[in-house]
Structure 1
């Protein structure tokens, strides 16, 4: 690993983008859930744009069409066709002003983090062990959170006995291990596949969540969910006709491997 730079090991730009994205999550509190999640579905198209820019690839018309249909299908899931909205509920409106700009920044940062993470795994940091990359990326996140706690004056209170007891509750630990597993799986996903396919995999959660919710909790499946599932399935089928190919860069052999190769040739 002597030929690797600290920039490759410590992706501070990526962690800062993720940090900003999480900070802007609080902006969503000023919107009703429908408007907020409708706007968030734009990340599918934004991911496609950033993928083209960062990897200097051009998506085909069929690939773009599948992404747009996928976005529409995800939006359908957030629209309720059956129930009247209570009078005290915030109206779903696209007159969103400055807060809407912040949401668009959040979407951009979230998508940029995903695509740039794929770039680090496949291009700039292709020779770094994937687990080492995960360690340094999460160390960056820890540093950002410590800075935020310090600025807010909550650093010491976060490490009191009562706070730590709540953190180490078994339910919280299960969530932590689950999210850690998701992060590791995502890194392997981006290393071997691509961020465009990841958006389709995320959209397929609509189908699995709806079916499992019905089977496990008897939660009814409404018209918007049925339409969303049908639209997402069509988008997946259309994408499968012409999927994006973005293989990882071949890693450079270590010095020991090069020496053994020279000996074998001799």
Structure 2
């Protein structure tokens, strides 16, 4: 029968009883470190591409067609993540029991997904949906440079909420690394201007067009600032739930729960209440094209990668990986558009890497992953 792992206070007694303790069933330390590094590397790649593709999807000319609605994209992202996580949860459940009947597997999944603690994800799911909506608003009203730099505030908010909710101490060296990180990212992003005229052009670019441009820039800045706060709070709150229940719920079950509860605010608040009239007039998929679908796919993939990062690393390491992606994005832009990297960019990249080294130091991988990818289901 499928169920949770029974705990044994004495490993010797557990072995004598024919059951291997969960600690001994855990993946090797080297395997955990490999998963951690791979997930962070994939997150760097995903973040590097997503911002540029999303900005293009929100600002490229659409001709006579209306632009796609962000609320519909957010809903589709959650549906894709829900289906992908549920599929992985099924594989996780069936792996140790290939002969289990479909009804047994479904019953076990239902009880795991809708357990007594699942309701705790309602609040972070709503905040996560709000965060996604704010990101779309911000990137629709800001250029990618301003958006990426300002969005790094989520690192500071993540550290702040980690101290408040997780009681995680932050050393003086780590605070210094946060300052260096902000400075390095800023250097990379503002490396374009080289003369005083260029600097004035960059600083006044958001002010062109009078009141309309100013209002748009202000709305974008407020949106990205709010998204940074909700991002830090949501991620740390989820990390707290994950780490408090590591022995009872698998990674993919937790992801199914989060995506499931995110569907309700995305559907009822975003799609029906906010954009219901526009959808009734133009259609749900109005304005969709390959770039939009690529944006949705990258966002869904990012959600799965972030889940693994939270399980095998932590939110701060995840945010540092996202910051490194800014350096990668700038380098990729220099190659694709054949714009040489300036001295500012080179120094900024070095400062970001130094900040990452100072904060993380030696790799800290727990003996057990924060949330197991798979687990034994024997009762």
Residue 260 of structure 1: aligned partner = none
Residue 131 of structure 1: aligned partner = 252
Residue 77 of structure 1: aligned partner = 188
> Superposition pairs for residues 78-157 of structure 1, below 5 Å?
78-79=189-190, 80-82=192-194, 83-86=198-201, 89-90=205-206, 104-124=225-245, 127-147=248-268, 148-154=270-276, 157=279
The answer for unaligned runs of 5 or more in structure 2 is: 1-107, 208-213
CA distance in 1 between partners of 2:332 and 2:144 (Å)? 22
Does the C-alpha gap of structure 1 residues 44 and 213 become closer, same or farther in structure 2, counting only changes over 3 Å?
same
1:153 offset after TM fit, Å?
4.8
Q: Is the 8 A contact 1:40 1:107 kept in 2?
A: yes
Q: Is the 8 A contact 1:9 1:125 kept in 2?
A: no
CA distance in 1 between partners of 2:281 and 2:116 (Å)? 30
1:193 offset after TM fit, Å?
0.7
Q: Secondary structure at the match of 2:160?
A: helix
> Aligned Cα RMSD in Å?
3.8
Q: Is the 8 A contact 1:10 1:140 kept in 2?
A: no
Q: Is the 8 A contact 1:206 1:229 kept in 2?
A: no
Does the C-alpha gap of structure 1 residues 157 and 206 become closer, same or farther in structure 2, counting only changes over 3 Å?
closer
Range 199-208 or range 137-146, more displaced: 137-146
2:303 aligned with 1:215: no
Residue 54 of structure 1: aligned partner = 165
Q: Is the 8 A contact 2:161 2:232 kept in 1?
A: yes
Does the C-alpha gap of structure 1 residues 84 and 33 become closer, same or farther in structure 2, counting only changes over 3 Å?
same
1:49 offset after TM fit, Å?
1.5
Q: Is the 8 A contact 2:242 2:371 kept in 1?
A: no
1:188 offset after TM fit, Å?
0.7
Does the C-alpha gap of structure 1 residues 248 and 151 become closer, same or farther in structure 2, counting only changes over 3 Å?
same
Does the C-alpha gap of structure 1 residues 243 and 176 become closer, same or farther in structure 2, counting only changes over 3 Å?
same
CA distance in 2 between partners of 1:256 and 1:28 (Å)? 47
CA distance in 2 between partners of 1:172 and 1:200 (Å)? 27
CA distance in 2 between partners of 1:221 and 1:236 (Å)? 21
Residue 156 of structure 2: aligned partner = 45
What TM-score comes out, normalization by structure 1 length? 0.75
- Work out which structure has the larger RCO, using CA pairs closer than 8 Å and 6 or more positions apart in sequence: 2
CA distance in 2 between partners of 1:102 and 1:216 (Å)? 30
2:130 aligned with 1:20: yes
Residue 262 of structure 1: aligned partner = none
